[in-house]
Structure 1
């Protein structure tokens, strides 16, 4: 495939994923300010801890087999039934066992809203599995629209139950569970290939092959959890639930950038697995793509750091406004989280997922170490800083680890200049006032459009062509 066709495939995939992913996150983001007026920081902190625990247990519950199913289905065209059936059998068995264990634990040690927790955990895993299978089946349209449907239901219920009925944190739990299962039903109705299963064979060999691929991803996923979510437990342990609620709100703003990376990396993975190999042409193409990626990423961060502080001071209630000073390093952490996902294609190409686990552990250890050492001295800044440094370490070690298999060449002087500018901004906005933040946002905005004019022009032309079609 020529470079122009690869670019077209990558842009098409990114735009398709953007329909659901960005719309999903944006709708979810819009209701965050409302939470801050109707839910106390300590209650939001407890809810956030429950969601964090779901993300911790998820890879243990599924053994990441949906990732393996995606990897096999995208290559084994027309032979997906055994892999889908094997995935279902393992997933349903594990969900049942986990539910029984949690119910048993709840008899002796009360679990906060145990049955809602089980419903959300199981629903979240089933939905994530179905969406991975949709990607493997190349039904990106349903993948994107199901994500948008899920969030529309979630946000609609949250608005009605939290803001109108004023049911508090229980409304968040109920809305979460209802939206998950409504989306699961929608996917199964609209994609008949996900209903074509045969549970009679035991699929033992299929499960063994897929688990051999997916089990090394579990420590990697847990390490990602340590870097992205363990901060909540540390904050809860060393400070309090209210601080955790404030930190949760600070995290919501960089999550918009995170979903942009996610939709790009979904498209990048689909295209790279199908089209790229170990060749000079592939290396040159990857270099150009990554250069465009980091210029766009840092450019957005330069704009968002001061702009987010301005927005949070306007739209949040007084109890949550302090969250604005923690977002700078969280944005930088999100950038390197995206870079780490981009570079992981080197492991997926060769089905060598052990390297991904190893580098993820390095980042997780650094993240947790900074958290535990610094939180007593600098409070919530330790959580934000550790997230950035942990993902930075993960990315650096991955770049080194894959250079023999799938090297990604970087202009380190230019890259370093972007990084230093981002760090200076993240620290500087702690003390700036609204006037300075406005000036910084305008300057950063002009720089972003000038520095990325070619990439933006390419995207706009692609969108324009799609509209004509």
Structure 2
């Protein structure tokens, strides 16, 4: 199977799983904003955000090594699985010992959920990344749908019927994570790889940790450059402001889903023949297609922002719509950075990942401190967009020292000018907003029509291959 057909097949499978599950979650945003207050939603999001912050430290991000080493055919997947789960268990145990610190924070009333969120999150990641590593892409993709259905059924029962409010919301997400993990474990037949605590390959364990541990600063820096704004909003304004900011991110999450689908499929294929001329051409073509997809998607989302907000954002949540345009732009910058990050991970030269995200994190923290007290939630949106742009540009320049890719500067530059003007019009909500955005969508589709056709053809070829 050619690299393009394999990538197309993986993108298709993950689209079926991820987009299906995210679409259901997206539809339910209106339900959650109707059932929870901005303060409750903000608290729930802080628990999730805190979990993501703590995860790299206690897990050593071993899940990344599980996928990367399982993809290498010369490695024994049984050893990869045992080492990964061993590290996950040890990390969870250490987390449990230190978890009472939560009682010293504003989340003290939700201590049990902080613990449950972390443990279910850690094991879900270990299983899902390993499943991807052993090329059970279909099982991984369906795991997303299973998780979403479990969350929805639990939410309807706990929020709508039992009226448990924020507790029902938190419990439903824990249930979803557990159900998804069990599903992937059973249907990917992970149990056949066994588990050994003592007889693990020490050399491989050292290699896996050597691969994953340097990603900790990078992961934390991503968190600082992307989600630390929520803590500053809580500090300078209130948890209600955090709730509005979190809900504003729901529309950009449509783009995050699309980029995540491509990114997860891309990581599986990016390591093949890395450094060769064939690999360089593959990287260039895929980046071009991905950029075209994202530019058209952000333009469409800017056109649909207010109508979607009217459907999804209930009551006081509706004001969150004004922060969406800048968050959409930060999403596209994040996607580019993730793609460029694969150059570093595929070449095992991950040092600049830490440098670039640290710079972005510092910029985001500084801008949050300056802007949030002055312009409120919009300051957080500006900070995130700026930080993500800096990370993207720095990687775009530095990655050429490893793999010198050719980009379509003039073509994409014209599209960015259109997008930035569209963002300005959308934020100001001028009377001609819809007409302007519609024209922008058409212009971008015309400019990028070749790449968009190529992206569609790649996925279609993957579908044909899958049918055969």
Q: Distance in 2 between matches of 1:437 and 1:110?
A: 41
Q: Do the aligned partners of 2:422 and 2:440 also contact (CA within 8 Å) in 1?
A: no
Match of 1:226 among 218, 224, 227: 224
Tell me if structure 2 keeps the 8 A contact 1:102–1:118: yes
Q: Which residue in 1 is equivalent to 2:432?
A: 436
Q: Return the alpha-carbon distance in structure 1 between the equivalents of residues 104 and 384 of structure 2.
A: 36
Aligned residue number for residue 257 of structure 2: 259
Which residue in the other structure is 1:8 paired with? 5
Structure 2 Cα separation of the partners of residues 152 and 345 of structure 1: 31
**Distance in 1 of aligned mates of 2:15 and 2:74:** 25
Q: Is the 8 A contact 1:227 1:364 kept in 2?
A: yes
- Structure 2: state its 5+ residue gaps: none
107-116 or 367-376, which moves further after superposition?
107-116
How far did 1:316 drift? 2.2
Tell me if 1:425 matches 2:422.
yes
Mapped contact 1:310–1:437 kept (Cα < 8 A): no
Is 2:350 aligned against 1:360?
no
Is 2:53 aligned against 1:59? no
CA contact (8 A) 1:305 1:426 kept: yes
Give the corresponding residue for 1:306.
303
- Give 2:70's match in structure 1, choosing from 62, 69, 73: 73
Is structure 2 residue 281 aligned with structure 1 residue 271? no
Given that 2:8 and 2:463 are in contact with CA atoms closer than 8 Å, whether structure 1 keeps it comes out as no
Conserved? CA contact 1:374–1:382, under 8 Å? yes
Q: CA RMSD in A?
A: 2.1
For residues 96-144 of structure 1, the C-alpha deviation after alignment (integer angstroms, 9 at most, x for no partner) is 1211221365389972311121011110110011110011101001111
Q: Which residue of 2 aligns with 1:454?
A: 453
- Paired position in structure 1 for 2:392: 395
TM, length-normalised to structure 1: 0.93
Q: Give the whole-Å Cα distance in 2 for the aligned partners of 1:367 and 1:352.
A: 25
Deviation at 1:455, TM superposition (A): 3.0
Change (3 A) 1:447 1:317: same
The answer for the alignment partner of 1:181 in structure 2 is: 178
Q: Is the 8 A contact 2:8 2:460 kept in 1?
A: no
Which region of structure 1 is more displaced relative to structure 2, 137-146 or 378-387? 378-387
Displacement of 1:187? 2.1
Note closer, same or farther for the CA distance 1:342–1:467 as it changes in structure 2 (3 Å cut). Answer: closer
Partners of 1:236 and 1:104 in 2: CA distance: 19
- Deviation at residue 466 of structure 1 after TM alignment: 5.3
Instruction: Give the aligned partner of residue 146 of structure 2.
Output: 149
The whole-number CA distance in structure 1 between the counterparts of 2:295 and 2:245 is: 23
CA contact (8 A) 2:151 2:176 kept: yes
C-alpha spacing 1:108/1:36, structure 2 compared with 1 (3 Å): closer
Structure 1 residue 448: deviation in Å?
4.8
Aligned to 1:408: 405
1:2-401 maps to which residues of 2 (within 5 A)?
A: 5-77=2-74, 79-103=76-100, 106=103, 111-195=108-192, 196-274=194-272, 276-401=273-398
Distance 2:159 2:467 in 1: 41
Aligned structure 1 segments of 4 or more residues deviating by more than 4 angstroms: 107-110
Contact 2:5–2:459 (Cα < 8 Å) also in 1? no
